[in-house]
Amino acid sequence: MTTQKSVNPLGPGYEGVPGEEKRFRDVFRDTLRAEMIRDEDVFLMGEDISGGFDKETKEPLDAWGGPFAATKGLVQEFGPERIRDAPISEAGFVGAAVGSALTGLRPVVDLMYFDFVTVAFDQLLSNAAKSRYMFGGQTKVPLTLFARSGAGTGHAAQHSESFYSMLAHIPGLKVVVPSDPYSVKGLLAAAIRDDDPVFLINDKKLINLTGFVPDDEYVIELGKGRYTRRGDDVTLVGMSYTSIACQQAAEMLATEGIEAEVIDMMSLSPFDEDILLESVMNTNRVVIVDEDTPRASMASEFAAIIADKAFDYLDAPVKRVTAPHSPVPYNKGLEDAFIPQPADIITTVRKLLGRE
Q: Which residues are catalytic?
A: 90, 159
DSSP string, 164-210: HHHHHTSTT-EEE---SHHHHHHHHHHHHH-SS-EEEEEEGGGTTEE
Contact 70, 26 (CB under 8 A): no
Helix, strand or coil, per DSSP, at residue 333: helix
Contact 86, 124 (CB under 8 A): no
Walk across the sheet containing 83-85 and list its strands. Answer: 83-85, 42-46, 106-113, 144-149, 198-203, 174-176, 267-269
**CA distance from start to end of the chain:** 35
Containing H/E element for 335?
A: helix 332-338
Q: Check residue 60 and report its DSSP letter.
A: B
